[in-house]
Chain A
Amino acid sequence: MKIIVCIKQVPDTTRVEIDPKTNTLIREGVESILNPLDTFAVEAALSIRDRLGGTAVALTMGPPQADRILREAIALGVDDGALVSGREFAGSDTWSTSYALARAIEALGPCDLILCGKQAIDGDTGQVGPELAVHLGMPQATYVRRFREVSPTSIVVERLTDRGFEVLRVPLPAVVTVVKELNEPRLPNLLDLHRGRFAELKRLDCKAIKADPEEIGLEGSPTRVVRIFSPESRRGGRLYEHDVDAGIEEIVRFIEKKGLL
């Protein structure tokens, strides 16, 4: 079985803040990390490969230094890493990102299962997985929390819905996006980290993946960001420390006023 796990390098958004004076992003000390939600997809790829045999390949698109997350995935146990990179990909939105990833997956040869995290913590769109499935002509299962069965030809999965869950049988190849509930990602040891650091990576540019230059990067992206601004920042309100009862009264009044009673 050949599994491809799509991962993304993201700024550690928990550390991105806006300077209230200059209204700009404070980027000091903000490092780039493997998208935390992708760690569950990597773990799923490894555990399925370990059970059924075959290979697991990590794929990402990004600037040259995104190779770090591929090395991290290799340290965790994936067999190979592929980086789609080049200036021509800059400015890609979800449509052209998924297009480029689809072409890269085709360039890597036939595969059985494609895994993604449910979304990335910088964009939070969750769109690349389903769009990738369309570009590859594959069915999909999103928000998967459990693999009930995995065979070389199909999977049976539980996927979360807003009100519970559904059980789907999906023929392979397919695209699956996963949630945290699925597993507990393993940690690499020192030896693994060393292996990751010196692993040979596949580097793919527009030509190598046979992408149409008009469909990638800014040109290929239907959407444009026209404005970025900081949300109205929240400020702490009144703290009731020794007069909690007064606070409770105030809160009940507020809840009534808001029509939530």
Chain B
Amino acid sequence: MTGCRIDYAERRVARRTEGLRRAPVCIDLTLSRAPIGFGSGSGLELNSESRPAILNGNVRQRRRRYGRSDWSDPMARDEVGTPSILKSGAKAPNFTLKTTPDQSVSLNDFLGRPVVLAFYPADWSPVCSDQMGLYAQLMPEFKKFEAEVLGISVDGIWSHLAFSKDRRLNFPLLADFEPKGAVSRLYGAYEHSNGESTRALFVIDKKGVIRWSYLSPDGVNPGADGILAALEKL
């Protein structure tokens, strides 16, 4: 609740430190899908000279990695994201991760039910609510498909517990903490440059086969439309 009242100055700092431009909105959402181009001539495009240095570093890094110079081009952003994650049709690799200090969860525990795996970069993004908060609110919809939702990041269990309590989450958050990012790597959902999971989504059927996967363009917080459509198709 109080976490929502973040002033713009604080958000600007957060934006800079994260190297992301974010739109001022309430769920993490739009957050990062923000900057995809205002259209030419609006005078609002930032060029590399006017961007803060940290962002320029980011662009240079992208150029090295992807050979693309226009980071505001949504197509470029999409291509940045897509190649590596496990695809529909693949067997979902089993894993066991801690969800509380004395409880672990294995993917195989859920055989017989659909599972939504939501990898995300970090607890505590500096916004009102976030992707996980939206999923919590949508739990009744997921339950219509008897689907389990599991959030996964490289944060430790104590962070997860506090985050979960603060955002009133009603599904488990799993700590891909030691060895760091091992499960994220298994699913191709690990970003080596910053040591975080990417925003990759997987819908797994009751036999443990991936039926849909999606990697959000860098920084774009996905909604739930793709997940629900995939669950309907199972």
Interaction A to B? no
Please report A residues at the B interface, Cβ cutoff 8 Å: none
